[in-house]
């Protein structure tokens, strides 16, 4: 039988695994304001950030509903969103 500490550790590992698998990034464009947005949807996490037009790596929070263990985990997710936005905007620019 698992001890309480082992059970919690295993549960956290499973939650991190499902978060990584089920996380979806989307790049959205609003024509009226000519603005890009990046969105993250994952179990228990909804984040919606505005992408800076001149520097796609700079994003600013619009909506954020999420629970993280610490601010480092949140920082990693925001960094992933920044990288995703940068790559997607570069793909769009190369296509034109």
Q: Cα(20)–Cα(29) distance, rounded to whole angstroms? A: 25
Nearest CA among 85, 3, 1 for reference residue 40? 85
pTM: 0.69
End-to-end CA, the chain: 60
Q: Write the DSSP string, 48-76.
A: EEEEPSS-TT-EEEEEEE---SSHHHHHH
Per-residue pLDDT of the chain (96 residues; tens, 9 = 90+): 445 556 556 555 555 555 555 678 889 888 898 899 999 888 778 889 999 877 777 888 888 878 777 778 888 888 988 999 999 888 888 875
């Amino acid at each position: 039988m698992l001890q309480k500490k082992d059970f919690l550790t295993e549960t956290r590992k499973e939650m991190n695994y499902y978060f990584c698998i089920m996380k979806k990034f989307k790049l959205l464009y609003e024509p009226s304001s000519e603005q890009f947005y990046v969105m993250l949807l994952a179990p228990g996490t909804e984040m919606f950030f505005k992408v800076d037009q001149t520097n796609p790596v700079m994003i600013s929070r619009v909506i954020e509903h999420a629970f993280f263990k610490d601010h480092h985990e949140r920082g990693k997710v925001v960094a992933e969103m920044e990288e995703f936005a940068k790559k997607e905007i570069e793909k769009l620019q190369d296509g034109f």
